[in-house]
Amino acid sequence: MDIFLTEKVEKCVGKKYTAMSALYPATFKLAISEAVEEIYSKLQPRSILDILFGWLLPGRSTFVNIDRAKEGYIETALIGGAFKLKGKKIRATIYVKDSGNYKEVWIFTKPADNPKDIMSIFEDWIKNRNPLHKKVINIFGEIEELGGYSWEDIAIPLNFRIEIEENLVWPIKYLDKIKNLNINVARGVLLEGERGMGKTTLTKIIGREIKGHGTYIRARPSDIQKLGWDYVFEVAKTLAPSLLCIEDIENLTPSTKTPDIGAFLTDFLDYLDGVKERGDVLILATTNEPDLMDLRVIDRPGRIDRRLRLDPKDKKNFGKEWKMRVLSIHLKNFRLDKNLRIEDIADIISEIPYTGAHIKELVYTAALQALRREGIDGKLDNLILTREDFEKANEILKLQLKIQYSG
């Protein structure tokens, strides 16, 4: 403790004092700020003697130093004086400061008082009244926007949707029922497959499904590497039931032996296995390259319980019927020639392993072909997409696909 703080504490509570400290993830800065505001509201007015002589006498000083961020929350605070708590007066000094990725809280009281009476206010705000509970946030506690996506905005096989609902949505929306059945709440699902298959959109839909029932926490690999797994799971456990969404997880679980990654990966496995308490935290992870992942993460249930592969080469799940559904989504604002059906378009591309993003581009390219045919200055109300437009668009897209996979 530095000399300045020591002097402040001694002037407020005397040279003999009891101290208590706690470290909280800086993600909870809003809750910590609310706790400081509540404690500050209980600061008692100074007596005439304190006003005149308090600065001279040990154990009589009162002071308030609060620094706020531009967003309004309290960054640092040093408050000393007499506080009325639970019907009694406690003379204390409260000190809040940044400490790396954490917020450090110190409480100093006279030996006869208990600093827990004040620290409990911080604990209550962090655990029970946290403003981030049941919100959609990133790991730093900032609100995230998911857009207006719903199940109608994505073409996904029914069996995939069922797996997602049962393993990610139900354990949060129906937490008590799942627990009463003695089913493990802490589930894990991996969405794998190449780019353009809707994995990111799917994570947003899942986030909207649980919003208001649990906390959705998005954590990028670079952020997790910076903060560490202990930090990430402390946040997720505190805000439980929660869904921890990790995109591109292969960057955190490489199959090759990378320097300094061993202990980091072991920490993650310890949480998956329950060696370290995981709490009611579910994991939704995505990867474009599952072959790069360490097999220990995905080798058995309890770590990753379901692997859902979104593969355009999988004709059973992503064949003609799936392509028709994707086309239906992206053709909502277009008119087709009366002799052209969505099924006909799906037949044109039936043997090509297009992703959802490719099919979206197919529709837009066909629209550009129609626009060129009708003239760019023509009325959009008269724009009709024909088989020829889609056949031309398909040839253009096949060429792009060849370039994409050859380069």
- pLDDT tens-digit readout, 202-230: 999 999 999 999 999 999 999 999 999 99
Assign residue 43 the CATH number of its domain.
Answer: 3.30.530
Is residue 219 domain-shared with residue 357, that is, in the same domain?
no
- pLDDT tens-digit readout, 370-388: 999 887 776 677 789 999 9
Assign residue 239 the CATH number of its domain.
Answer: 3.40.50.300
Question: What range does the domain containing 79 cover?
Answer: 3-131
d(CA 188, CA 304): 5
Is residue 333 domain-shared with residue 227, that is, in the same domain?
no
Please, are residues 203 and 231 in contact by the beta-carbon 8 Å criterion? no
> Does residue 83 lie in a domain region?
yes
Please, are residues 218 and 144 in contact by the beta-carbon 8 Å criterion? yes
Is residue 301 domain-shared with residue 161, that is, in the same domain?
yes
pLDDT at 404: 64
Please, are residues 274 and 238 in contact by the beta-carbon 8 Å criterion? no
What are 389's two structure tokens?
A: 């437009």
Asked if pLDDT for residue 52 goes beyond 60, the answer is no
> Does residue 136 lie in a domain region?
no
Going by the DSSP 8-state scheme, the letter that residue 45 receives in this structure is P
The domain tally of the chain equals: 3
d(CA 317, CA 313): 9
Is residue 269 domain-shared with residue 296, that is, in the same domain?
yes
d(CA 130, CA 116): 19
Is residue 231 domain-shared with residue 249, that is, in the same domain?
yes
Residue 58 neighbours by CB under 8 Å, 6+ apart: 10, 11, 14, 15
Is residue 305 domain-shared with residue 374, that is, in the same domain?
no
Report, as an integer, the average pLDDT of 361-368. 96
d(CA 58, CA 13): 7
Please, are residues 118 and 32 in contact by the beta-carbon 8 Å criterion? no
Report, as an integer, the average pLDDT of 106-120. 95
Residue with tokens 């129609």: 370
Report, as an integer, the average pLDDT of 110-130. 96
Given pLDDT bands bounded at 50, 70 and 90, which one contains residue 294?
A: confident
Residue with tokens 């003379």: 91
Residue with tokens 């023509």: 378
- pLDDT tens-digit readout, 80-104: 999 999 889 999 999 999 999 999 9
Please, are residues 26 and 98 in contact by the beta-carbon 8 Å criterion? yes
Please, are residues 306 and 167 in contact by the beta-carbon 8 Å criterion? yes
pLDDT at 54: 55
Residue 71 neighbours by CB under 8 Å, 6+ apart: none
Q: Under DSSP, is residue 25 helix (H, G, I), strand (E, B) or coil?
A: strand
Its pTM stands at 0.91
Cβ neighbours of 262 (radius 10 Å)? 10
